[in-house]
Amino acid sequence: EIVLTQSPGTLSLSPGERATLSCRASQSVDSSYLAWYQQKPGQAPRLLIYGASTRAPGIPDRFSGSGSGTDFTLTISRLEPEDFAVFYCQHCGSSSLTFGGGTKVEIK
Amino acid sequence: EVQLAESGGGLVQPGRSLRLSCVASGFIFDDYGMNWVRQVPGKGLEWVSGINWIGDRIGYAEHVKGRFTISRDNDKNSVYLQMNNLRPEDTALYYCAKGRGIHWGLAPMDHWGQGTLVIVSS
């Protein structure tokens, strides 16, 4: 089973700053099957990015995804107040789906 | 508008059973795979089970194999999770989530319900 490790655990930033979140896989994965989600307190997760770099419908272009092999990145170019949340990466395998442990982006 | 509404959660004793339901609307239900994902309050997301569009390809996380059974009824736009022999560590908020494709695997989840809480305790 592929294990996803996200770092850092918590990112303290101010609105307007750039956020860079990392997701590292325990073995090389097809980037077609790497997704990112955002979850705000009391809400269900929301799909942000799939295929490592494709934004889901309605997702602002300040969110971008990149990476390949074992290293993937979610970047928020300029943080808006509503962006502060927990972010999860996910591998969509053929026999199981795995999530990373999450990165919390909090207001500094 | 896609909507997923879970129900069936509650307080149950260890070793007992519970059946979760998820009713879908706003999309062609039998065109998509469906999943159950759980989350212990304050913790991360954990995939539990998935079922493809027609129900003949199913997957389970290792820790629920042999205890949980996923099924779907396309006539009722519903997916179910039968949970047997429940353990305290199964306590979580259980989300129903729609896949982006006909299979549950190889696709992310593009819509989620609000979840139903399962508490396993004596």
pLDDT tens sequence across A77-89: 999 999 999 999 9
What is the torsion angle, in degrees rounded to the nearest 10, for the CA atoms of residue A64, residue B101, residue B27 and residue B116? -80
Q: Is A78 helix (H, G, I), strand (E, B) or coil?
A: coil
For residue B78, how far is the Cα from the chain centroid?
Answer: 11
Calculate how close chain A gets to B92, using CA atoms only, in Å.
13
pLDDT (mean) for B33-59: 96
Lowest mean pLDDT among A75-79, B12-16, B65-69, B104-108: B104-108
Indicate if the pLDDT at residue B86 is higher than 90. Answer: yes
Q: pLDDT grade, residue B78 (50/70/90)?
A: very high
In this predicted structure, what is the pLDDT of residue B104?
87
What average pLDDT does the structure give for chain B?
A: 97
Find, in chain A, the residue whose alpha carbon is nearest to that of B4. Answer: A44
Say whether residue A59 is in contact with chain B using an 8 A CB cutoff.
no
Mean pLDDT throughout A50-79? 98
A94 near B CB under 8 A: yes
